Chain A
Amino acid sequence: MRYLFVSPEKVSQDQYRHAPIFRLAGVVLLIGLVLQVPLLFLGVLSWKQFQDRNAEQTSLRIELGELHKADIPLRETRQKLSQIRQWEPILNNRIPISSLLNAIQVSIPQNAVLDTISIEAEQFDHLPVLGGTYRVPRDYRVVLQGLERSGQGDGSQAFSDALQMRNLPGNG
């Protein structure tokens, strides 16, 4: 006689409300729903962090693009600068011939006459430069030959002292 002439909708509603099995299912469902709250919270937080990171990445990407744009005109300069830097050891090891010749000329004592002067380069280093390599001499040999009037002192010693006082490059 139970549920006689009661519509199936009402019967199922009553069962869903009061039957132990459906109550149990309801408890499980509600506990499940409650457990979703922290997960949902974490999800929202993660989403927010993801959004922040995305925004940061986008701004960094924009900044990088701007830097790239600014770098384009400097690239040629940098290239030229690097080419110039390649010449640095070459220029450092050069010998100032004119100042050497001037120092020799000035240092020759009165009682001596310079006959020949020869300058030879030795022990070459091969330094790479644009378009090939450059041979840079590590040592120079300067040979002087001259005539000294006799009886007027030690001319070669005076010449050596005067030359050293000139402070030529490489004299240290």
Chain B
Amino acid sequence: MGYSLIGYLKNLPLAYYLKGGFTQMRGPTISLFLSSQQSAALVCRGHRAQGFELQIANLPDAPPVIGMDSGIAAASRSFSQKLLTRTRARGVPRFIFVPDLAASDLYCNVHSVANLRELSIENLLESLNEDPRQVFGSWDESRKFRWEVFDSQLERVRGAFEKRFQEVIIVGIPADYCEQLEIWTEAQRATLLGIIPLSLACLKWFCSSIPIGRKTAFLLLMCSHAVLLAVVQNQKIILFREYTDDMAFVCHEIPLLASELRSDEYETYVWASHPVGEDIAVALTGTELTGEVLRQINGQAVVVRKSDGTKLELNSPIPHLLLWLENSVV
């Protein structure tokens, strides 16, 4: 991102400064998990959780959730003001959105650099922004997407490919949804720190938090709309697939993939945004990343203080993911 004095003077936030923006300190961070089935907000200050709220999408003036009609409800106080009051936090909030996107709203794939015509990330992003068919060949989506390119460890990369990377991960989400979130954040007079799709956040958390050593890890992400399977080797993502079939099919796929990848030793991990039903749990083999497992991985439970002053320990995947995300983004 290039900044210049002229750019600054052109976009001088004079109104913000005159309203006392100079003296405003960094406010609390609100990480929002947004799904059509479930939504949650974690309010943090100084990397510590202050409050956790569920089903925030049903509140008036709630942030837009993709695939859900956002009913316009008149509210005397804004959504963020209400949320901050509930968690006894103050200041200008900073939002991190973690949307759970359907298969049609998320493009995420591992691409071999050798198969790409572009010579640099900038060229690749330019081609994607112009017309994704220049990169993928088949792309029938008419909506405009915003694109990002990562390396195998999900670090954003820039510059020429040369021999730095063998594979890159291309991720795209609908631009209109991003704009909706930006407009909503602006209306809340808040700051937007990032829109991080759930699968991307989970994969990054997994690669950063769980040392798998030389083994191959199969990570099953059970989202609201689909099951995503990522294969991780040496903390690097080498394969990413999306399944809309039932869990039994996906579980059957893992050994086949392991043999294709010639991985004798492999571990399967399951991360689910919602509690896994018994019928699915029977079919699953591997470690479910929830409860005590998460507490051990992250070192401690997510502790929030309730309105009556008592402490509440949370060990479900969403608060843990949102807290980790807040710590890594802010």
Contact = CB atoms under 8 A, between A and B. Distances in A.
Given A5-B146, A5-B178, A26 B194 contact: no
Given A5-B146, A5-B178, A26 B22 contact: yes
Contacts of A15: 1, 3
Contacts, number: 73
Contact of A16 (B8, B325, B329): B8
Contacts of A18: 26, 191
Given A16-B8, A18-B191, A5 B173 contact: yes
Interface residues of B, number: 32
B329 A12 contact: no
A26 B17 contact: yes
B196 interface: yes
Contacts of A3: 192-194
Interface in B97-153: 146, 148
A12 B3 contact: yes
B22 A4 contact: no
Contacts of B200: 4
Contacts of A12: 1, 3, 7, 11
Contact of A4 (B1, B3, B12, B194): B194
B11 A16 contact: yes
A4 B178 CA distance: 10
A27 B195 CA distance: 31
A26 B12 contact: yes
B195 A13 contact: no
Nearest to B147: A5
B325 A1 contact: yes
A4 B181 CA distance: 13
A interface residue count range (under 10 / 10 to 19 / 20 to 34 / 35 or more): 20 to 34
Contacts of A16: 8, 11-13
A124 interface: no
A104 B201 CA distance: 146
B1 A11 contact: yes
A14 B325 contact: no
A22 interface: yes
Contact of B182 (A10, A23, A27): A10
A1 B17 CA distance: 27
Given A16-B12, A17-B16, A27 B1 contact: no
Contact of A6 (B8, B178, B204): B178
Closest 9 CB pairs of A and B: A5-B195, A4-B194, A17-B13, A5-B146, A1-B329, A26-B17, A2-B329, A5-B178, A4-B196
Interface of B: 1, 3, 5, 7-8, 11-13, 16-17, 21-22, 26, 146, 148, 156, 173, 178-179, 182, 191-196, 200-201, 204, 325, 328-329
16 contacts: A1-B328, A2-B193, A3-B194, A5-B173, A5-B178, A6-B194, A10-B182, A11-B1, A12-B3, A12-B11, A15-B1, A16-B11, A17-B21, A26-B13, A26-B17, A26-B22
Given A4-B156, A4-B194, A10-B192, 15 more contacts: A1-B156, A1-B325, A1-B328, A3-B193, A5-B173, A5-B196, A6-B178, A7-B179, A13-B13, A14-B191, A15-B1, A16-B8, A17-B13, A17-B16, A27-B22
